[in-house]
Amino acid sequence: MRLTARTWSIVFLFIALKAVGNFALAWGMKHFAEPASANPLHYLRAMFEPAVGAGVVLLLVSLLTRMALLSLADLSYVLPVTAIGYVLAALIGKYFLSEAVTPQRWLGTVLICLGAALVSSTTQSTTKESL
């Protein structure tokens, strides 16, 4: 079974939600006044920061979107196909969070995408439930 337009639209929706959600979360955590801590209450308090809260909401919606995707395709297929999100994370880190992305890290990101492309050429669902 090949990916349908509907499945692709869910893939892209998931990637966009996750990228923006991760950006909001990272930006909010970097600007959170309290220093890093192992105390879970520290992270619960952080969720009341607007950027962190927005990031959490977007990541929760991305979670539901991914669950819908997993009802259509194998886990071993969904993982690599959605790996383009790692490239977006590197780009967002570089251009919006002023993080240094070394050439080695860029090469790693390119390999992740190549591997993802190879896997995406296989059948999307192979289990008994979906055949």
Partner 1 sequence: MKWFLVILMVTATAASDVLQSHEMKRAGQQSVGARGFLRLIQLIAARGFLLLAMGCMAVSFFSFMALVQTEPLSFAVPASAASFILETLLAKFVLKERINSRRAIGTVIVMAGVLLVGE
Which positions touch partner 1 (CB under 8 A)? 10, 13, 22-23, 25-26, 29-30, 32, 36, 38, 40, 43, 46, 59, 61, 63-68, 70-72, 74-80, 83, 85-86, 89-90, 92-94, 97, 99-101, 104-105, 107-119, 121-123, 126-130
In the 3-class helix/strand/coil scheme, how is the chain assigned residue by residue? CCCCHHHHHHHHHHHHHHHHHHHHHHHHHHCCCCCCCCCHHHHHHHCCCHHHHHHHHHHHHHHHHHHHHHCCCCHHHHHHHCCHHHHHHHHHHHHCCCCCCCHHHHHHHHHHHHHHHHHHCCCCCCCHHHC
